[in-house]
Chains A and B, each alone.
Chain A
Amino acid sequence: MTNFIEILIRGLMLGSVYALVGMGLTLVWGVVGIVNIAHGEFVMLGAYLAFWAFSLIHFNPLLSVALAIPIFFFAGMTIHKRITERLTKAPELSALILTFGMSILIWNLAQFFWTNTYRSVPYLTGSFPFFGLVFAKSKTVSFFLALGITAALFAFLKYSRLGKGIRATSQNSEVALVCGINTMRMRAVTFGMGIALAGAAGTIVSLQWVIFPQMGASYVSKAFAIVVLGGLGNIQGALAGGLIIGVLESLTTQYWSAKMAQIIPSMTILLILLLKPTGLFKK
């Protein structure tokens, strides 16, 4: 029983980080209307940011989250203004193809500059006991970081002026426009936030897993499963979806095999689309 609870909690910890990636994807999809296939590449870039900051100047990897959020936010806004903004009125397929190309470009550049060597950030290793359960330090810290960012995101969207403008734009962009909201700017800010969430998630995963140029692929597939689970554009749904995927992965790894855990995202997408295409949660 203690073992089961431990596995469950590990799943939630894992899922909290997946949720960050998923929330970024669903936010951009819902508000900007762009399916960003390159979303996972920003997780990878975030992980490399933490790695290089740590190995070059011994920058504390826990603080690299704070570094990543503004950097990725402004990078995301710039990418949107220069490249993806023109896609908001184009057919969805154009966005798919463009961001797919972007994804390939980014991980190839990463491979070119940083090689295929597996990297890791040796910080906060080891584990600690907690009421008879055992948890990895890095994963526990990651969990709280992810929860903190999630809470900040929710509060921002609910209470801040900009957050309300973003919600208004996503729920009815015509009415938002006639309220005097610059919806184009809202979309750029949202794109930046989506990329910032991916980058932040990247710095967090650098604490727990190996870093390599193609690592984004597994995160983007999980993020898609999360978006499908939670319902398109549904942020709370994505949080729940992320936790569900994390727990499923943790349980499958423990009671079946790590290989089987790899098929969870695609199985989830398949089942949800067959049984409840609007996602598990009402918006």
Chain B
Amino acid sequence: MRVERKEEKILTIDGLVSGYGKMEILHGISLSVRRGEIVGLIGPNGAGKSTVLKAAAGLLKVTSGKVVFKGEDVTGTPPYRIVEKGMAFNPQGRVVFPDMTVQEHLDMGAWTIKDRQEKEKSLQRIDQLFPWLMEKKKRKASQMSGGEQQMLSLARAMMIQPKLLLLDEPSLGLSPKWVKTVFEKVVEIKESGIPCLIVEQKAAMVLEYSDYGYVLEMGNNRFEGKGRDLLTNPDVRRLYLGG
């Protein structure tokens, strides 16, 4: 079922062992994200999907294994340095600063950008991707719907003009209509040249959009393959997609 993937590797995770404190969640995960790909990461609850993203983004301690980003070993680098290198992370659940405005979210997204012109460029990009957002610059996040918040979070993550986008359950708590909108936006982002690694509970949904997919189970790799192949794989279907 392994397929040859020829594009350049943007992110390589190799034998990753990590977890919370003394509790080990990942027992040696390996995966890669290549140029031009959406990679879906699925698996049952507690498989360690989110943990992979957090460890890659520097939010969790890596016990062993390696995280290589754009050819550079970034294992154990603090999150604020990883962001500077161009890895954007859209976390799960509470994705906004409730009391801050849209404009302030974009400012925070651009925290690591020192150059005024670069920031201006990012804002123009956001304006193309999320035109409606720029009309609500003064709106506070807490006054927005869950879907709008998710989009705001995406926009915030895009402010660094990332080389890779990590998304942790972007569909969480959203209506089907918003889920579709969010995924279409992610495809648009990918097509603009930014590969995405997406963790999702809605496995069938994410595989639909994914170029490649990984299935985790109990902190280990279980299956991998092209998104469509995984969707039709009888084992994956039976175990993770509900028949």
A interface residues, Cβ below 8 angstroms from B: 161, 164-165, 167-168, 171-172, 174-182, 283
Contacts and interface: CB of A to CB of B under 8 A. Distances in A.
Given A168-B108, A175-B91, A180 B84 contact: yes
A180 B97 contact: no
Contacts, number: 67
30 contacts: A161-B107, A164-B100, A164-B107, A165-B108, A167-B97, A168-B97, A168-B104, A171-B97, A171-B100, A172-B98, A174-B59, A175-B91, A175-B96, A175-B153, A175-B156, A176-B108, A178-B79, A178-B88, A178-B90, A178-B157, A179-B108, A179-B112, A180-B79, A180-B83, A180-B111, A180-B160, A181-B108, A181-B111, A182-B78, A283-B99
B91 A174 contact: yes
A174 B78 CA distance: 13
B62 to A, nearest CB: 16
A178 B89 contact: yes
A179 B109 CA distance: 5
A177 B108 contact: no
B57 interface: yes
Contact of A179 (B59, B83, B94, B98): B83
10 closest residue pairs by CB, A with B: A180-B83, A180-B112, A178-B89, A171-B97, A180-B80, A177-B79, A179-B108, A180-B111, A179-B111, A182-B80
Of A172, A174, A177, A180, the most chain B CB neighbours within 10 A belong to: A180
A18 B153 CA distance: 38
A37 B26 CA distance: 40
Contacts of A161: 107
A144 B67 CA distance: 55
A181 B107 CA distance: 11
B80 A175 contact: no
A180 B90 CA distance: 12
Of B79, B84, B109, B156, the most chain A CB neighbours within 10 A belong to: B79
A178 B97 CA distance: 12
Given A167-B97, A174-B94, A176-B108, 4 more contacts: A165-B111, A175-B91, A178-B79, A179-B83
A149 to B, nearest CB: 22
Contacts of B88: 178
Given A174-B59, A178-B89, A179-B156, A167 B100 contact: yes
A178 B100 contact: no
B183 to A, nearest CB: 21
B95 interface: yes
B99 A175 contact: no
Contacts of A181: 80, 108, 111
Interface size class on chain B is: 20 to 34
B74 to A, nearest CB: 14
Contacts of B109: 179
A174 B96 CA distance: 10
Contacts of B59: 174, 177-178
Contacts of B83: 178-180
B111 A167 contact: no
A172 B94 contact: yes
A165 B84 CA distance: 16
A136 B79 CA distance: 53
Given A164-B107, A164-B108, A175 B95 contact: yes
A175 B95 CA distance: 7
A164 B107 CA distance: 9
Contacts of B100: 164, 167-168, 171
B95 to A, nearest CB: 6
Contact of A178 (B57, B94, B96, B104): B57
B79 A172 contact: no
Interface in B146-172: 153, 156-157, 160
A275 to B, nearest CB: 25
Of A174, A178, A181, the most chain B CB neighbours within 10 A belong to: A178
A178 B153 CA distance: 11
B72 to A, nearest CB: 17
A161 to B, nearest CB: 8
A280 B95 CA distance: 27
Interface string B172-201: 000000000000000000000000000000
A167 B156 CA distance: 16
A167 B90 CA distance: 19
Contacts of B107: 161, 164
